[in-house]
Amino acid sequence: MELDRPPNARTVGTVTAGVTGLGLGQEYGGDGPLRFTQITMDSTFAPTITRNGTTSAYGSQKIYTFPSGQIKLLGAYARFVLTRGETTNMTSGAAFYVSLGSAAVISTDAATIVDTKCDFLSPQLATLSGGTVTQNFINKTAVTIMTDSSGGTANDTIAAITAGGAYAQADLTALKNAAATWTAKINQLIRNVGSSKFVAYDGGATAPDLYVNISNSNGASAQVATGNSSLVMHGVVNLVWMNEGYLTT
């Protein structure tokens, strides 16, 4: 088995055609595997925001297609001026999570965007003020250091808990809270590592896509009222990535 560079190894990807306001700012590539891509959105780029009852509001737009091959993301950064596309259905203080992913968000994605919907850029909250906000979007959200108030002794082994032992309710509650805390921190670390950030997309002969994803937990506040809306996203997306080729026998 050998690793072959695909026939288009020296090429770069393609910005999605026919999307108003979407363009290619800069793109660099050569004989080596490293690539830099800057995708631009002008003030006419405005993905539709679909209201999903009182549960959520969401939107997605494919913006780029990578070449075929094993694509490895090294870094992603975006800066947007977000502005509500109309004033009838969207409130001036609506809050949206914005991410970049290899798949589009769907109606069941409310405030939580996970997995392939955010594997290029982690979801970050942007809250409009007076109908607009300017914000940077970067990966690797800081993980807060936990304070150990357990009173136990940390070591490299998790001690056994005697089955059938008598424990006070307060002890059990403390154990449950500790488990919940560990789970939350571990999941946060997994998301930081998993979307950074050195993730490989096994495109093989199929080219991976890139979507800008928007999601809102609409709730009782009805930040997107009856009827759909749009969100103007004026800015840039910068990507640093590699095309490692694909395996052949």
In a domain, 162, yes or no: no
In a domain, 184, yes or no: no
Range of the domain at 8: 2-139+197-248
pLDDT number for residue 200: 58
Running DSSP on this structure, what letter comes out for residue 115? G
In a domain, 36, yes or no: yes
89 neighbors 197 (Cβ within 8 angstroms): no
**What is the Cα–Cα distance from 198 to 200, expressed in whole angstroms?**
7
In a domain, 175, yes or no: no
Give, in degrees to the nearest 5, the angle at Cα 140 between 137 and 141. Answer: 80
CA 176 from chain centre, in angstroms, equals 29
In a domain, 150, yes or no: no
pLDDT number for residue 151: 65
In a domain, 151, yes or no: no
201 neighbors 102 (Cβ within 8 angstroms): yes
In a domain, 26, yes or no: yes
Residues of the chain with pLDDT under 70: 1-11, 30-31, 54, 110-112, 140-146, 148, 150-165, 187-188, 190-205, 217-222, 226, 246-249
In a domain, 201, yes or no: yes
Count how many domains the chain has: 1
pLDDT number for residue 37: 93
